[in-house]
Amino acid sequence: MQTQADPDIDTFYVGRARVTRVEEWRGAFLTPQILFAGFDAVAYAATRGAIGEQYLDPATDAINARLQSWVVEHEGQTVLIDTGAGNDKERPGLPVFGQLQTPFLERLATAGFGVEDIDLVICTHLHVDHVGWNTRLLQGKWLPTFPRAGYVFPAADAIYWDPRNADRYPPHVGAAVNAGFFEDSVQPILDAGRAHLVEGAVEVGPGLRLDPAPGHTPGSTTITLSSSGETAIFCGDVVHHPLQILNPDWNSIFCEDAEQARASRRRVLARAADSGARLVPAHFAGEHTVRVERTASGFRPRFAVEG
């Protein structure tokens, strides 16, 4: 439910859990033709009409995108999911997110959360636009933004993106666009002893479970929030855009393992459809969350999510 007073802050409920969306950035990103590996013009023509103008710019066909974080309040714990791009950060491979000066922390405060109110930070995966506010620049040093919080990182991503391990892997698909993020937004958390590196399916808080969904990155995870018989699945970049619900074999060009990414996407969409869960992707514009329905040939998004 979006408030008219501040369009950058929304709330919804999952059972007794309150979820608040706090937006960092909005703008036009790449076109589907560029963003999606495996893009098919015929399939696009058949599915484009099911996606509203809030998701695709009708003049340029560019994807309307968001960087946004989600604050979950449940059973006495306050959890921040994904932390956007952050301020003051050098991003030579992705200038659109470099040297940002957004009022993200002020918006977080407007929503009712100071930096000391966050108990736990969870990154669905380690990419430049999901870890930025892990740290902030204080007296010339990158320090944890949320001083009381533990930070949960997928262990596979922490190993994969560590520059010291570069020789262990073939060249990373996202190496250029993600240049610098590990050094300023992940390593300082590790050095401060605040990181919890997780593997496999694991409970990280009341009603919060992490499940592997590899492909976009080796450690990509989903976060399932369950409360009073209701469920939401925070899926990070398993799904970037509603077009991928209609065309689940379309990966983003930033996916590290194409086959795994497609399999994970189909598995997450099936779980959302079969359970009736609210799907919460990282970058949706429009209504920001969606329900998924099965069709004879696959899946389709159901917008106008309420509650």
pLDDT confidence of residue 270: 98
Predicted confidence (pLDDT) per residue in 28-40, tens digit: 999 999 999 999 9
Tell me the CATH number for domain 9-302: 3.60.15.10
pLDDT confidence of residue 7: 86
Beta strands at 230-236 and 278-281: parallel, antiparallel or unpaired? parallel
Global pTM?
0.96
Predicted confidence (pLDDT) per residue in 261-275, tens digit: 999 999 999 999 999
pLDDT confidence of residue 1: 42
Q: Residue-wise over 271-300: b if at least 16 C-beta within 10 A, else e?
A: bbbeeebbbbbbbbbbbbbbbbeeeeeebb
* CA quadruple 251, 128, 54, 280: dihedral sign: positive
User: How do the domains of the chain map onto residue ranges?
Assistant: 9-302
HSE value, Cβ hemisphere, 13 Å, CA-based, for 217: 26
Centroid of chain to Cα 16 = 23
pLDDT-flagged residues of the chain (< 70): 1-5, 305-307
Classify residue 110 as exposed, middle or buried by CB count within 10 Å of its CB (0-12, 13-18, 19+). middle
DSSP output for the chain: -B-SS-TTEEEEEETTEEEEEEEEEEEE---HHHHEET--HHHHHHHGGGS-TTTB-TTT-PBEEEEEEEEEEETTEEEEE---S-SS---TT-GGGSS----HHHHHHHTT--GGG--EEE-SS--TTTSGGGEEEETTEEEESSTT-EEEEEHHHHHHS-GGGGGGSSPPTTTTTTTTHIIIIIHHHHHTT-EEEE-SSEEEETTEEEEE-TTSSTT-EEEEEEETTEEEEEEETS--STHHHHSTT-EETT-S-HHHHHHHHHHHHHHHHHHTPEEEESSB-TTS-BEEEE-SSSEEEE-----
- Token code pair at residue 117: 């109110």
DSSP bridge pairs for 18: 13, 73
pLDDT confidence of residue 4: 39
Distance CA 144, CA 209 (A): 24
Predicted confidence (pLDDT) per residue in 137-174, tens digit: 999 999 999 999 999 999 999 999 999 999 999 999 99
pLDDT confidence of residue 305: 54
